[in-house]
Amino acid sequence: MVRFFDASMLQMATCRECGGEFVAHAYDPTRGYVCGVCHMPARAGKTRRAAEAAASAAIATA
């Protein structure tokens, strides 16, 4: 990883929400960067919630 930093292929990006430092590609836009912890992906956790909802619906109808 040090070689990629030395070759300027990677750089540090600061999250604008939490202020954390994260590794990013050198050619990715880092202005206004928001990390994955502050801005969760759209599908994160939905499969578990769907399974729990289906299980509780099955219990309620039984």
- pLDDT digit string, tens, across residues 42-52: 776 667 777 77
Summarize pLDDT for 6-53 with one digit per residue, the tens: 888 999 999 999 999 999 888 888 888 888 888 877 776 667 777 777
Q: From CA 59, how far away is CA 57, in angstroms rounded?
A: 5
Could you please report the per-residue DSSP string of the chain? Answer: -HHHHHTTSEEEEE-TTT--EEEEETTS--TT---TTTS--TTTTHHHHHHHHHHHHHHHH-
Domain ranges of the chain: 2-61
pTM: 0.55
